[in-house]
Amino acid sequence: MARTVIIEEHGGPEVFKIVDREVGDPGPGELRIRHEAAGLNFIDVYQRTGLYPMKLPAALGMEASGVVEAVGEGVTHLKEGDRAAYAAQPPGAYCEARVMPAAQVCKLPDEIDFDTGAAMMLQGLTTQYLFHRTTPIAKGDTVLFHAAAGGVGLIACQWAKSEGIRLIGTAGTDEKCQLALDHGADACINYREGDWAARVQELTDGKGVHVVMDAVGKDTFEGSLSSLRPLGMMISFGNASGPVPPFNIGELGAKGSLKITRPTLFTHIADHATCQEMAAMLFDKVVSGDVKIRIDQRFALEDVAEAHRTLEARKTTGSTVFTL
């Protein structure tokens, strides 16, 4: 049996329940993992609220780390006793142990502790696809990154710095802006103070940025388009302020033949080999010290509602984990 966080209806943090669930044995292509820590991400909020509808009742959580207890037939990249971490579907990481598909579970290097492993997978693999699998970004290019002091943001600041990419961040307080700067951002704009899109133009001598990486959504969408140079790429990869409303696609032409995409991590990691390659690059960045995973919040599993309230209020910085 394993304590597991579930929801039986969509709604606010009050809908969470903790139940005991039987874990069972892995079937073909599966493994059983005993968790040491699990990560908290905005996708968990979207699933809880019903923005991303789920078949109910459902367990939540998309990433965790722990020790493999058993593997099913056909699983060759992991074995019993291996340290492992993952960001993967289906949800269910908010638990002490689970049986799950093995393909997106990755062997965790000994140099990376379990808390870091749980905090880095979804956000780190997201950063990897943003910089390497979405649109070409060359050394010297300029990227605008919203919520630069969040979990993905702080990884992105360091990632950009390690590859010679200029990153302009935005954040909601001067303290958060300083945090982004401390992690490698070349500049960071407090979006609560004046016209941040105009400030982006100032910082780029009126040219605009090559790429915008925007997980905020509704509140930043128009300004993000206005921050791009002609032929620039808008990567809208989240909805922290709410979904982007419908817009006239003709605006892309009027603003300079812009491009836009709405990727998801789980498309990128659906192929087993690709997922493992992406994880290997992420692990190399962390082990080398180019990227340090900052964990600023830790919660016990029974405090899951408080954790979600804190995240939704944008009171978090860096990554957040549940300790198990």
Q: Report pLDDT digits (tens) over 100-159.
A: 999 999 999 999 999 999 999 999 999 999 999 999 999 999 999 999 998 899 999 999
What tokens were used for 195? Answer: 């016209």
What's the topology of domain 135-262?
Answer: Rossmann fold (3.40.50)
Q: Report pLDDT digits (tens) over 180-194.
A: 999 999 999 999 998
Residues of the chain with CATH 3.90.180.10: 2-123+266-323
Closest CA to 35 of 25, 26, 27, 23: 23
Measured over all CA atoms, what is the biggest interatomic distance in the chain, rounded to whole angstroms?
60
> pLDDT value at position 314?
83
Give the long-range contacts of residues 179-183, CB within 8 A, separation 24 or more.
179/149, 179/154, 179/317, 179/318, 180/148, 180/149, 180/153, 180/154, 183/154, 183/157, 183/158, 183/292, 183/294
CATH of 2-123+266-323, one of 3.40.50.150, 1.10.3720.10, 3.90.180.10, 3.40.50.920: 3.90.180.10
**The dihedral formed by the CA atoms of 191, 120, 14 and 236, expressed in degrees to the nearest 10:** 40
Residues of the chain with CATH 3.40.50.720: 135-262
CA distance 96 to 79: 19
> pLDDT value at position 103?
97
* Amino acid occupying residue 81: G
Q: Which residues contact 141 (CB under 8 A, 6 or more apart)?
A: 165, 166, 210, 211
> pLDDT value at position 24?
95
Q: What is the CA radius of gyration of the chain?
A: 20
> pLDDT value at position 108?
98
Report the SS3 class of residue 168. strand
CA 193 to chain centre: 26
> pLDDT value at position 258?
98
> pLDDT value at position 243?
84
Phi, psi of 31 (to 5 degrees): -145, 160
Which residues in the chain come in under a pLDDT of 50?
Answer: none
